């Protein structure tokens, strides 16, 4: 969330930057709401001062034996006017907060112009996409042929866009999760957490999922409690420090968690409906870093390297791109996407997004630290996927498939699996 004073101070610059992401900022409306709030506060303060003066006069008159009834009546009327003024402040606050919660983050000038993935700017490619002497299969045909992926029975259980993994498939999912967590905790310095998968409306608002994206969430109400299934572990991890002041010497705080992610994918039907690419439920290892505003960009660059390390361990070809301003998420000011090569689609597909949110989430969630002068200031947050297990599993199957229909697994996974190859019939072997 923004500080309204900053937006008004930036003026046309704020309008320009938000226009790059297709958002029209109404500065006049914000100024009017801010003026109303300020006027209400000033009126309430003036009335309180008058009430205090009258109370003093009542006391003085009582001590002198004077008539206090008229003064007491004035005091009662002032209390009513103070209550009305306080209600005006609350109403003005609510309207201003509602307006601010709908305004996305200001995109960085480092984000290229454009409003879709077509305008992303490639930063680098790593690894060479595999060249096959045969027609490569997609992960669905490979997995179902081996009997390690079962979309039909998943649909029977839950409807479309769910999956069941069995045998070597389930083992591969578990091994990928363990590899990612071990890399982030043992090599990259993150602290692993186990977090709730159901969170409150306030928690969702803190990281920017609400109020704008409620249609994308799965909600539930049990015993009059309004809870949401998390779309990513970013939500509980970041909000662990909501409404807290973090000492500067504790920064950066690096958090990671494996969690199921639940997404309704509203508005995306007809896109990527086949296989593991876009599902209603999937497992993902998430990374979150809480830091100071001046260090956020450096922390973001480090996080990109941490996500890349997972792909490098798996010998997967990928590339890194900078998203266009109009394609950057609501809460982010700059996002790098890491895209893995999928042979079946003959293209790179997003497997990790790493975003610098600046102080946007810190303001919304009340996560604060202190600057060099000891003044309380919003903390900055950075988050990224490290990595989604299903999409990574799909890439492993597709990039490492063999001519005989087997999949030769990366060496980094064999110590967790106990086998190195998944055979065409779903059995496994150590060579």
- Is 263 marked within a binding site? yes
Q: Of 350, 375, 79, which is closest to residue 248 (Cα–Cα)?
A: 375
- Is 50 marked within a binding site? no
Cβ contact 228:198 at 8 Å: yes
Radius of gyration of the chain (CA): 27
Q: Which of 51, 177, 344, 353 is an active site residue?
A: 353
- Is 353 marked within a binding site? yes
- Is 264 marked within a binding site? yes
Q: Is 153 a catalytic residue?
A: no
Region of residue 311 (left: phi > 0; alpha: psi -120 to 50; beta: else) = alpha
- Is 268 marked within a binding site? no
- Is 144 marked within a binding site? no
Q: Of 336, 339, 383, 394, which is closest to residue 358 (Cα–Cα)?
A: 383
Question: What's the token pair of residue 46?
Answer: 């003036």
- Is 257 marked within a binding site? no
Q: Which of 17, 37, 161, 263 is an active site residue?
A: 263
Cβ contact 406:423 at 8 Å: yes
Q: Of 356, 354, 235, which is closest to residue 292 (Cα–Cα)?
A: 356
- Is 308 marked within a binding site? no
* Residues listed for the chain: 431
Q: Is 263 a catalytic residue?
A: yes
Q: Which of 86, 144, 313, 350 is an active site residue?
A: 350
Q: Is the dihedral of CA 219, 221, 227, 233 positive or negative?
A: negative
Q: Which of 391, 398, 406, 421 is an active site residue?
A: 391
What burial class does residue 172 get, using C-beta atoms within 10 Å of its C-beta: 0-12 exposed, 13-18 middle, 19+ buried? buried
- Is 232 marked within a binding site? yes
Q: Which of 81, 174, 201, 278 is an active site residue?
A: 278
CA dihedral 78, 83, 88, 89 (to 10 degrees): 100
- Is 302 marked within a binding site? no
Listed in order, strand segments (DSSP E) in 312-411 are: 318-322, 334-342, 347-356, 367-370, 376-378, 380-388, 407-408
Q: Is 353 a catalytic residue?
A: yes
SS3 81: helix
Q: Of 403, 176, 144, which is closest to residue 274 (Cα–Cα)?
A: 144
**Known binding site for L-serine: residues?**
232-234, 286, 385
Q: Which are the catalytic amino acids?
A: 263, 278, 350, 353, 391
**Known binding site for ATP: residues?**
263-265, 350-353
**Known binding site: residues?**
232-234, 263-265, 286, 350-353, 385
């Amino acid at each position: 969330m923004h500080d309204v004073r900053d937006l008004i101070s930036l003026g046309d610059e704020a309008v320009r930057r938000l226009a790059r992401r297709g958002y029209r900022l109404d500065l006049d409306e914000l100024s009017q709401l801010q003026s109303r709030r300020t006027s209400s506060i000033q009126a309430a303060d003036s009335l309180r001062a008058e009430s205090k003066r009258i109370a003093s006069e009542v006391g003085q008159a009582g001590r002198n034996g004077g008539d206090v009834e008229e003064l007491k009546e004035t005091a009662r009327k002032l209390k009513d006017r103070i209550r009305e003024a306080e209600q005006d402040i609350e109403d003005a606050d609510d309207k201003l907060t509602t307006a601010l919660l709908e305004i996305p983050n200001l995109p960085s000038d480092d984000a290229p112009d454009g409003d879709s993935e077509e305008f992303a700017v490639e930063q680098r490619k790593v690894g060479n996409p595999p060249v096959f002497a045969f027609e490569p299969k997609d992960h669905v045909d490979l997995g179902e042929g081996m009997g390690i992926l079962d979309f039909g029975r998943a649909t029977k259980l839950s409807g479309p866009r769910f999956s069941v993994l069995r045998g070597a498939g389930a083992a591969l999912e578990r091994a990928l999760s363990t590899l990612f967590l071990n890399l982030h905790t043992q090599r990259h310095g993150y602290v692993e957490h186990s977090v709730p998968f159901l969170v409150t409306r306030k928690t969702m608002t803190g990281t920017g999922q609400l109020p704008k994206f409620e249609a994308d969430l799965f909600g539930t109400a049990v015993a009059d409690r309004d809870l949401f299934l998390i779309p990513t572990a970013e939500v509980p991890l970041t909000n662990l420090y909501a409404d807290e002041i973090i000492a500067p010497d504790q920064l950066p705080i690096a958090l990671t968690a494996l969690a199921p992610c639940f997404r309704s994918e509203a508005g995306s039907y007809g896109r990527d409906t086949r296989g593991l690419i876009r599902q209603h439920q999937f497992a993902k290892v998430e990374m979150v870093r809480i830091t100071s505003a001046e260090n956020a960009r450096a922390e973001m660059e480090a996080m990109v390297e941490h996500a890349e390390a997972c792909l490098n361990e798996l010998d997967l070809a990928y590339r890194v791109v900078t998203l266009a301003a109009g394609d950057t998420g609501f809460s982010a000011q700059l996002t790098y996407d890491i895209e893995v090569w999928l042979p079946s689609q003959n293209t790179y597909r997003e497997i990790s997004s790493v975003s610098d949110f600046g102080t946007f989430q810190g303001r919304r969630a009340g996560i604060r630290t202190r600057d060099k002068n000891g003044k309380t200031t919003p903390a900055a947050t950075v988050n990224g996927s490290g990595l989604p297990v299903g999409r990574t599993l799909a890439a492993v199957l597709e990039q490492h498939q063999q001519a005989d229909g087997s999949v030769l697994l990366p060496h980094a996974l064999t110590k967790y699996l106990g086998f190195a190859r998944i055979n065409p019939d779903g059995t496994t072997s150590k060579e």
